[in-house]
Amino acid sequence: MLFFSYFKDLVGKEVTVELKNDLAIRGNLHSVDQYLNIKLENTRVVDQDKYPHMLSVRNCFIRGSVVRYVQLPPEGVDVDLLHDATRREARGG
Partner 1 sequence: MSIGTGLESLVDQTISIITNDGRNIVGVLKGFDQATNIILDESHERVYSTKEGVQQLVLGLYIIRGDNIGVVGELDEELDAHLDLSSLRAHPLKPVIH
CA distance 52 to 48: 5
Site string for partner 1, 65-84 (x = CB under 8 A): xx------------------
CA distance 70 to 62: 11
Among 2, 12, 13, 55, binds partner 1 (CB under 8 A): 55
Which helix (DSSP H) or strand (DSSP E) does residue 87 occupy?
A: helix 79-91
Instruction: Confirm or reject binding of residue 60 to partner 1 (CB under 8 A).
Output: yes
Instruction: Confirm or reject binding of residue 19 to partner 1 (CB under 8 A).
Output: yes
Q: Select from 45-53, 70-78, 83-91 the region that touches partner 1 (CB under 8 A).
A: 45-53
- Given a contact cutoff of 8 angstroms between Cβ atoms, the answer to whether 35 and 44 are in contact is no
